[in-house]
């Protein structure tokens, strides 16, 4: 006896619910949520990158200002050490409300004769410190050299007294900015106190 089984095609067909489960994709809401999360992460990374860059930029600017102001102070210190001074004459004059420093130097090694000694001057002008062979101002000097690269905001010179040795000293303060025309407060300040060697009496 032979048996024949009839299989209906509907047996192999998936139900509508199965179709929905098998063909389920990404919805518009999921795409929007993923986009928002991605944008938030990218914004955070960009903000962090900007902060790091600014930190390195500020450090670089301060380092640049430090090198510039320190080199100017060293230049002044060398010339102050050449100042002519004795018990009655300091060989150093401050003018312009403390913005100009003049130094009488004994470059000819004739300590008893002041007539052949030249004056050199440091003066603040146009965000730089001018150096020249003159007294009081470099305005009329022909050999003026500008120290620095235009980042000096303030230059102040004054006399002070060493509390231990009671020697008179020169105190110099230089304030600098990356852009002196726009900065409100100085971004870097360098100062020093220098005693000049006396060639004929007490130290100034």
**Rounded to 5 degrees, what are φ and ψ at 60?**
-65, -40
- pLDDT tens per residue across all 204 residues of the chain: 555 555 555 544 555 555 545 555 678 787 887 788 878 877 766 666 555 555 545 556 777 888 888 889 999 988 888 887 665 667 888 999 999 999 988 776 666 667 778 899 999 988 889 999 999 999 888 889 888 878 899 999 998 877 777 677 889 999 998 888 888 888 888 888 887 654 443 333
**CA 67 to CA 77: how far, in whole Å?**
15
């Amino acid at each position: 006896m032979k048996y024949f089984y009839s299989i209906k095609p509907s047996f192999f067909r998936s139900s509508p619910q199965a179709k929905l489960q098998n063909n389920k994709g990404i919805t518009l809401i999921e795409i929007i949520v993923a986009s928002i999360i991605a944008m938030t992460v990218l914004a955070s990374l960009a903000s962090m990158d900007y902060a790091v860059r600014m930190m390195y930029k500020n450090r670089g600017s301060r380092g640049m200002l430090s090198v510039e102001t320190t080199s100017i102070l060293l230049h002044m210190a060398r010339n102050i050490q050449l100042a002519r001074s004795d018990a009655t004459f300091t060989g150093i004059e401050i003018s312009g409300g403390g913005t100009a420093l003049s130094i009488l130097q004994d470059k000819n090694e004739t300590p008893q004769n002041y007539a052949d000694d030249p004056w050199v001057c440091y003066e603040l002008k146009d965000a730089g410190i001018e150096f020249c062979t003159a007294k009081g101002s470099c305005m009329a000097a022909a050999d003026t050299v500008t120290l620095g690269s235009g980042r000096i905001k303030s230059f102040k010179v004054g006399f002070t007294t060493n509390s231990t040795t009671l020697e008179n000293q020169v105190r110099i303060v230089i304030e600098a900015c990356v852009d002196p025309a726009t900065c409100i407060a100085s971004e870097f300040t360098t100062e020093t106190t220098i005693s000049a060697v006396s060639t004929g009496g007490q130290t100034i």
